[in-house]
Structure 1
Amino acid sequence: MTSKLMQIDKITVKRGGQTVLRHLSLSVNPGERVVIRGVNGAGKTTLLRACLGLLPLESGRIKFHGIEVGSREWLNMKRTAAWVPQERVLHNFPVSCREVVAVGLAGYKIKRRKIKEAVDSALRAVGVQHLADCSFHRVSGGERQKVSLARCIVQGADILLLDEPTSSLDGDSRLRLVTLTEQLSRSGRAVVVVTHEQSLFPPEHWREYNLAGGILC
């Protein structure tokens, strides 16, 4: 039996002594699009951070390709998942957009020319190749989101975890970002979005959940 790309099995997570996620389960297959909605403070960011092994679990397990997060094997698989945090977390990096994308290749033994080619290709894929040498903190919020998506692409991640990716965007930019994530999923990448938005991410294209009271429904 083939393992799921991501399998969350009855996890419980506490923050500051309070239970934020309660026996939560979710599975995601390659190429799937999943949107998880919830109000501010519902635990959406906590869920993504737990998936990346950045928060301890009180109980339960999270696996990627059958490998448990936090295990020795997981240390060699961290490129499986790529995280785009909320825009307000991203904007203060005093580096170029090209350098932000190149972070996705950190640790690889790749020649500088190949890195440049891969970064340029990823920037073209999201439509911001013209920003390659611009300072990351000086471009718009929507452009920063696209640059961060380019980092995920160049990383070669199998699953993208996006935290409120449309929160700082205007109407047209929101729709373009939704279209872009759907295009990325067609290449076999899974996409998981957490958001408070109610009208974006159409149900005919996305598997929908609501996060409330620490559980998915």
Structure 2
Amino acid sequence: MTADLPDIGPDPSAPTAWAGSVSRYDPHGLDVLEAHVIAHRTSAAEWTVMSVPRRIWTGLVEFVPWLASIGGFAMLLGDDRAIRLGRMTERGAEHIPFAAVCYAVAALGVVVLFVRWLRGGRRQTKGMRLHLVLVFVFGALGIPVAYMLATRDGVGMGLMMVPTYVMMGLATVLFVLVQLSPPPEPKSEIAFEDLDEKTVKRLMTLRGRAIDTLVKRSLLPDENIDALKARPLGRLHIEDEPS
């Protein structure tokens, strides 16, 4: 059933991530999307057997560090449009401690990532490296903004940005450790025919989100989107034979 799908390489992106990043100049047809969906079947199967608390914990571990780092930078920078409309106060030195708290949360998140990496076999992890880069970058962006605010308001910085330096240092060390680690061992892929009902439902949900993303980006032809989403798994790119 999946033999006619195109080859998308050994380490394809998740369907939703691919739909949000693929260039309109690269292949982005329904067959390519379906190939990404089918390639994600083992990860989807692993997700369906997780308990709800485990899913929540996994999401927190993966997203809190870089989200908190972005939050620290946003706390310092603010939103110019919201400030002009009076929905947000102008940024000042009084916001630096709040940013420091965000960076401290991000630093703690990096420590948790480190523990998870140790327990996971100390292997290279593509997603983790990206998250660590985001943590470092938004910390590096926040430091000059914080010093600018402190200088403008005539306030001493003191130790307020120490959590930022700690966060960046931890992210750098973990990035180097991950980079120097051996690549992950190849997973034993689940056969398409062996997918259970929950996994198929999960993959259909991911496929539907990816379709919505492609529609918003005007990367899909003018078709009945609901009919597309209803096509069986593995047959997104195959039109039903008229009866």
- TM-score (norm: length of structure 2): 0.24
- TM-score (norm: length of structure 1): 0.27
The answer to which structure has the higher strand fraction is 1
The answer to which structure has the higher helix fraction is 2
Report which of the two structures shows the higher radius of gyration computed on alpha carbons: 2
